[in-house]
Chain A
Amino acid sequence: MKRTQKMASPPQMPASKGRRTFLRQLLASSTLLTLNHAPIAASAPQPSGEKAYRNFEDIYRKKWTWDRVVRGTHGTNCAGNCAFNVYVKDGIVWREEQQGVYGSSGDAPDYGPRGCQKGLRHSKYMYGSQRVLYPMKSIGERGNGKWERISWHQATTEIADKFLDLVVAHGPECISYGSGTQMALKRASFCSLARFANITGVTVPEFLSGVGDLPSGIQMTLGQIHTSDTMAAVYKSRCVLVWMSNPAVTRIPDAHFFWDAKYNGTEVIAISPEFTPTAMHSSLWVNPKPGTDTALAMAMVNVILEERLFKANYIREQSDLPLLVRMDNKRFLRAEDFATQSDATADGGGFYIWDEATDSVARAPGSGTGNDQAATLKLGKLRPALEGRWRVQGLDGVIEVTTAFELLKVRAAEHAPELMSELTGVNANVIRKIARTFAAAEPAMIFSGYAACKWLHGDILQRSMLLLLSLTGNIGPEGGGLQIGNSAKTQTMAFAFDGIGVAFRGISGTTWDYDHAKMKQLNQETYGKKLAQEFDDYYQESIRKGWYPSHSSKGWKMGFFAGNNGANWRASGKRWRKSALEELELIVSLVPDAGVTSHYSDYVLPIAHHYERADMMLQSRTPYVQVLDVAVPPLGEAVDDWEANRLLAEAIGRRAKERGIGIIDDVIDGRRVQRDYRRCLELYTMNGKIKSAKDVCQYIIDTTPGIPKIPFAELAEKGVVRVNGSERTTWDDKETTYHSEVFESVRDKVPYQTVSGRQSFYIDHEWFLEFDEALPAHKKPLHNEGYPLRMMMGHARHGIHSMWRDDSFLLSLQRGEPDIYINPDDAAERDVKDGDTVRIFNDAGEFFAMAHLSAGIQPSMLFMYHGWDPMMFRNRQNFGAVISTAGLIKPTSMAGGYGQIGYKPARFSPNQTYKDFTCDFEKASEEVTAGEPA
């Protein structure tokens, strides 16, 4: 039945020719149907029955099916390693779901299911507007947001030409290739970078110290940094101090182990200045003032010593506390004190104890080289004294000696609970209570994040944490230890060197920045000329003595930033951008997502995201190898890291041949190296043997200890494969994938890689004695004069570093923009209300953020979750602006010539300091907030 309604104008035909003529012309012009995005012209389906369309609901009647389900994960530095199923239909990833395939270690709860809201959001985020999809070239002034899209060929050719210009003129040292954790945690990706760098000789500033994550206090004490076990080890502990860590927020898939343990009777004690989600669920929350953690730790040491709660036999065997120290110069008693240098060396050197069994001096087992006791920590019939004073006959006369333990008692006495209570704000009775609980628990653990490394004296805090553990016999037992990190014994460098040899230039990220970003000048402006000069004198002396290499002579002229958003996280913020980044002649970013670093780049190369690449992950928190498989082809013209470096290698080789560039002489660690850039591609691909990231993965599987030797395709099919030797929660098996040196020392009595062969708590290096750091002690945190508030930062719940920080949905679960947590009293003093825009400032700079008032924040402190990209802030400046400590390189961190202490990339080098400063805030002016909604 017809109805009538007002008819809108139909599509108008041209009047001049008549409709039929026009239509004939139109239809004759070409086929009417032109499909640019579909491969074939579809023949018209003849709708009938269920294919007939009558309403939009009809399209939803057919069951939604997947074309494929692919195994994958998110290759970020969250230590999660979570197995996901990735659901694909019509070339699109629609959703992901946790792959529940895990098991357990011993009687601990299951590792699965694993995952978090970021992972479950990735199938949306990967299609977000932040993606870099095509090679882009900056037009005009850097950072102005104007780009030209170019081909990979044009991009790599132009980059290769500049690269070769610089190599010919200055050598490859002036070109950096920085990798972020987003790239480096993916094994094949990192291998590709390492091989490219080994071939080309570019400088690779290691990122551990660059981001202030290098646990150098552990290196100082144990001679290596790999002390962690699986997360299930938490369940085996009877007392866990969660210190400088917030696992309820940052370790979402693993946080349950803490609550499982608590349910099982374990004391879970959260130590943090602010009331965190972890503190909320713990047995006890202890809140020292920011920067006083070492005072708290040493006060606990005081209680343990005063109340004789320590495990004497453990420290006699494992630690340097029974070693004899000369009273006159506070140096260890050494073989040289008894004999000439040559005789002492011939005798096997070493350190000494006072043997209570024979009432005489005896060489300490595990110390020296080539002597009978050097190869083991076993005491045999020796009974090293911990306490006492003695006089021994030396080469030049009588020497008065005592033990390091006696000196520790003196040091601990300076940290009595009542004294430290004033400093920390923690009641002395609480300090005593947690010290006793910790000492009584068998075993006890300290679960710590990397935050300690970000303080100027964070190394001392880590030394004091290890001291607590050692005194109570808790380094070694399952459920004990200092849990920070462990690394897989992957053959990354073997892959890099295969068929080429060692020509890799890896350096400290912190010293690289000090040399190239005018950091001494920053120190002068912030801390005055005297301190800046003093620190610089030690820095230069270390280089003069050959303790550290210098990389300043060739300058910094070009930078590759791969999965690295350096201009985001650099302390000193815009200053680094201006004084270092923008000084470069060429900046190249290789990233999946845009950020401030790519915005200031000359070329931005698109990199495949997590579901668009083949790779693999190994994280010690779970005993599984985790695959990343290609669910969909890389979006746009993105490629994976292997392919990106292959394209660069191809272009460098091609242009070197075309330009007739011959062998270039280079020097690595004093060795002459010849580089032939014409062969770049052949070398990179091992003469065509390695064709893709899958081949790199296979190389890693075949060469890494503890991984079942299976084809990559099998790993891709399964998603996760358990590594060998993971029946217990600890990495105590030498044959397994992760480092087990601590267990070998405790269980098998293999000496530590320290100067004394023992856990090293007393460091008699001349600089440590000079700065009163031979033993741990509280040192005042740094204070910017005139700025009363201490600003703290931490990993965020809704992002991993800068990744996912800008996701619209995750932002909707927060304030939608960067916010800073403020104590309500501090806010009231400054007439600031929740939601106001505030200006945070000190003598180094300023930035703006939304005030987020919270009673969980102590007075006189501010807290901000990290990772917010500067592009999300006014003036493109994030929190880095007020981090005035970027140039502060602690003299003792430049020390060398002392066994475990001395330049060792990714083991011992100065951390960049991120937490040791003060600032203030005020309500932002109306000029700043103009246009903001009320």
Chain B
Amino acid sequence: MTPDSLTITPTNDSERYIQDRDLNLTAAVRCKSYGLFSSLLASSHEIDVGKQLREVAGMDNFCVYGIDLGALCGTYLSVDKLARKNEYSRLFEIGDSGPPVAIREQQQFGQISGIREDLVRFYEFFDYKIHQHYAWAPDHISVILEFTHLLCYYESVVSEDQLSYQLAQYDFVSRHLVDWAPIFADLIDNVQPDSLYADIARSLCLFITRDHEWQASTIFPMERSGDNG
């Protein structure tokens, strides 16, 4: 085999197309939903998301995939700020053997550096630049959700090649959220089942699972010429 013969041939998997998405109806809702989950799981110590959540909490019946996000935002806002901060710290910041629940993907999966590189490559490809203050934690679940939110936003506003953002959403969620979200929810359930963050994580898990299924159902492999499949 000569070096020339090693040119990469796209596989079936690399050629995909989208159908059955009504962008006007789905992109903005999904964008808002990912954004809300990002806000709900942002560090209560670092970021005040009250304003964003109040707007949604005030909306009538904001349900997505049967998940009442408006009510979830209302619950978040009803919890005392200091109590919320303490709960966040106890779950995600310190414990006898590190934080009881990993809120950073790398922590959850054993400090595998490939996870972070994969994230940063996605961020870089789509020009998502994290503020210096948070740069050390590109794998924080809130950052990951925020990036997905951004991809959905792009999908809703760009005039051409929406496919890039649609496929990226699916791949990104597949690689970083689908496996992790159930673990994240289970761990919080084990540690503090009656907590605000347990509610958020259970809802997130449901949302990610259903949205991933929905995305998958709109993505099809391209048939190659000569493929009689």
Q: Which residues of A are at the interface with B, using a C-beta cutoff of 8 A?
A: 1-3, 5-14, 16-17, 19, 23, 25-27, 29-30, 32-40, 42, 44-48, 51-60, 62, 64, 89-92, 94-95, 123-125, 127-130, 132-134, 136, 139, 145-149, 594, 599, 604, 632-633, 635-636, 807-809, 871-872
Contact = CB atoms under 8 A, between A and B. Distances in A.
A52 B181 CA distance: 28
Q: Which of B33, B136, B171 has the most CB of A within 10 A?
A: B136
B55 to A, nearest CB: 5
Given A147-B90, A148-B86, A37 B61 contact: no
**4 residue pairs, one from A and one from B, having the closest CB atoms:** A91-B135, A129-B98, A53-B164, A47-B164
B142 A37 contact: yes
Contact of A148 (B89, B122, B158, B220): B89
A35 B129 CA distance: 10
A38 B134 CA distance: 9
B210 to A, nearest CB: 7
Interface residues of B, number: 105
Given A56-B171, A56-B175, A808 B125 contact: no
B70 to A, nearest CB: 9
A507 B62 CA distance: 66
B136 A632 contact: yes
Nearest to A39: B131
Contacts of A807: 111
6 contacts: A9-B210, A29-B55, A42-B128, A45-B154, A149-B93, A807-B111
A5 B215 CA distance: 12
B59 A10 contact: no
A30 B168 contact: no
Contacts of A55: 10, 13-14, 16, 167, 171
B6 to A, nearest CB: 15
A14 B153 CA distance: 20
Nearest to A869: B97
Contacts of A633: 132, 136
B1 interface: no
Interface string B104-146: 1011001101001110111111111111101110101011001
Contact of A10 (B22, B138, B153): B22
Contact of B116 (A8, A32, A92, A147): A92
A37 B164 contact: no
A47 B175 contact: no
Contacts of B218: 7
Contacts of A5: 217, 220
Contact of A8 (B90, B175, B217): B217
Nearest to A15: B61
B89 A136 contact: yes
Given A1-B223, A32-B28, A89 B98 contact: no
B94 interface: yes
A10 B26 contact: yes
B15 interface: yes
Nearest to B170: A56
A129 B15 CA distance: 39
B203 interface: no
A594 B98 CA distance: 8
Nearest to B126: A45
Contacts of A604: 94
A8 B214 contact: yes
A353 B112 CA distance: 70
Nearest to B139: A127
Given A23-B25, A25-B59, A48-B161, A92 B138 contact: yes
B26 A11 contact: yes
Given A10-B22, A55-B171, A128 B111 contact: yes
Contact of A11 (B33, B56, B136): B33
A33 B150 contact: yes
